[in-house]
């Protein structure tokens, strides 16, 4: 039962005995069962990858080989024009000073 991941408590409940009885009398068997279960699961995962399961190949690559998903992105930012900068500045200044936006003076390009 430990080979399929059952806890000592679950095994004790199924068998109708105290948890301590299982722990004390069958600790070696429990550990061996857990190890066999892990080995079987690893074998099944390996087999799935060998049979062409791409998801399993990716997962095993990440787990065993330290592979990661590489996120590549590029962003193109056009530089703002002097006029855009000036208008943004005027809006900021007006908001700060609590007054209207003044566009009476514009920079030369």
Which DSSP symbol is given to 22? H
Q: Which residues of 43-81 are buried (b: 16+ CB within 10 A; e: fewer)?
A: eebeebbeeeeeebeeebeeeeeeeeeeeeeeeeeeeee
> Could you tell me if 13 and 1 are in contact, meaning their C-beta atoms sit under 8 angstroms apart?
no
Nearest to 105 by CA among 79, 72, 75, 83: 83
Separation CA 23–CA 33 (nearest Å): 13
pTM for the predicted model, two decimal places: 0.55
Q: What is the pLDDT of residue 106?
A: 55
pLDDT digits (tens, 9 = 90+) for 27-62: 999 999 999 999 999 999 999 999 999 999 999 999
Mean pLDDT of the chain: 86
pLDDT digits (tens, 9 = 90+) for 77-87: 666 566 777 78
Lookup: tokens for 92 = 């900021």
């Amino acid at each position: 039962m430990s080979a399929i991941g059952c806890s000592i408590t679950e095994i004790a409940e199924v068998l109708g005995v105290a948890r301590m009885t299982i722990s004390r009398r069958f600790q070696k068997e429990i550990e061996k069962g857990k190890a066999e279960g892990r080995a079987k699961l690893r074998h099944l995962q390996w087999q799935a990858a060998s049979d062409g399961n791409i998801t399993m190949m990716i997962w095993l690559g990440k787990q065993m080989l330290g592979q990661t998903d590489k996120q590549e992105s590029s962003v193109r930012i056009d530089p703002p024009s002097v006029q855009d900068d000036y208008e943004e500045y005027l809006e900021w200044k007006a908001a700060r000073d609590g007054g209207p936006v003044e566009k009476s003076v514009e920079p030369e390009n």
